Amino acid sequence: MLTKPHAYVSTTNACKLCRPLGAALAFKGIEGAVAFLHGSQGCATYMRRYIISHFREPVDIASSSLGEKEAVYGGGPNLKKGILNVMKKYRPAVVGVATTCLTETIGDDADRLVREFKAEFADLDLPEVVSVSTPAFGGSHMEGFHAAIRAVTEQVVTEPEPTTAVNLFPGFVSPEDLRHLKEICEDFKLAVTILPDYSDTLDGPTLEDYREIPEGGTPLPAIRRMAGAPASIEFGRTLRPERSAGGLLQTRHGVRLFSLGLPIGLRETDALFTALEEITGRPTPRRHALERGRLLDAYVDGHKYLSGKRAVIYGEEDLVAGLTAFLSEIGVKPVLAASGGSSGRLSHSIASVCGSIPGEAPEVLEDVDFHDIVEHARGLAPDLVIGNSKGYRVLARELGIPLIRVGFPVHDRFGAQRLRHLGYRGALALFDAVVNAVLEKSQDDSAVGYGYL
| The architecture CATH gives domain 286-445 | 3-Layer(aba) Sandwich (3.40)
Measuring CA to CA, how many Å separate 429 from each of 202, 235, 365, 436? 21, 20, 27, 11
311, amino acid identity: A
* % of residues, the chain, pLDDT over 70: 98
pLDDT of residue 211: 87
| For residue 10, pLDDT beyond 80 | no
What local confidence, expressed as pLDDT, does residue 4 receive?
A: 52
pLDDT in tens, 117-157: 999 999 999 999 999 999 988 889 999 999 999 999 999 99
Task: Please state, rounded to an integer, the average pLDDT across all residues of the chain.
Answer: 93
Number of H helices, E strands in the chain: 18, 14
Task: Return the pLDDT at 9.
Answer: 63
- pLDDT at residue 45 in the model: 92
* pLDDT tens for each residue of 250-264: 999 999 999 999 999
Higher pLDDT pick, 360 / 174: 174
Burial call 251-264: b when 16+ CB within 10 Å, e when fewer: eebebbbbbbbbbb
Task: Give pLDDT tens digits for 213-236.
Answer: 999 999 999 999 999 999 999 999
pLDDT in tens, 196-205: 999 999 999 9
Q: Is the dihedral of CA 402, 16, 145, 64 positive or negative?
A: negative
Res. 207 pLDDT band, cuts 50 70 90: confident
Instruction: Please report, rounded to a whole number, the percentage of residues in the chain having pLDDT higher than 90.
Output: 85
**Rounded distance between C-alpha atoms, residue 204 and residue 215, angstroms:** 8
Which CATH class for the 166-280 domain? alpha beta
Q: Which CATH superfamily is domain 19-138 in?
A: Nitrogenase molybdenum iron protein domain (3.40.50.1980)
**Which pLDDT value is given to residue 7?**
52
Q: What is the C-alpha separation between 431 and 425, in angstroms, rounded?
A: 10
Beta bridge partners of 188: none
Among 8-22, 134-148, 279-293, the range scoring the smallest mean pLDDT is 8-22
How confident is the model at residue 131, as a pLDDT?
97
pLDDT band at 112 (very low <50, low <70, confident <90, very high): very high
Return the pLDDT at 180: 98
Residues 381 and 370: their CA atoms lie apart, in Å, by 17
Q: What is the DSSP string of 71-92?
A: HHH-SHHHHHHHHHHHHHHH--
For the cut 70, the answer to whether the pLDDT of residue 3 exceeds it is no
Closest CA relative to residue 130, chosen from 149, 102, 103:
149
- Report the pLDDT averaged over residues 95-105: 94
Judging by beta carbons within 10 Å of its beta carbon (0-12, 13-18, 19+), is residue 192 exposed, middle or buried? buried
Q: What is the mean pLDDT of residues 342-354?
A: 92
Answer yes or no: are the C-beta atoms of 317 and 1 closer than 8 Å. no
Q: What is the spatial distance between Cα 391 and Cα 403, in angstroms, rounded to a whole number?
A: 8
CATH 3.40.50.1980, the chain: domain bounds = 19-138, 166-280, 286-445
Measured distance CA(292)–CA(100) in Å, rounded: 44
Q: Under a CB-based contact definition with an 8 Å cutoff, are residues 195 and 218 in contact?
A: yes
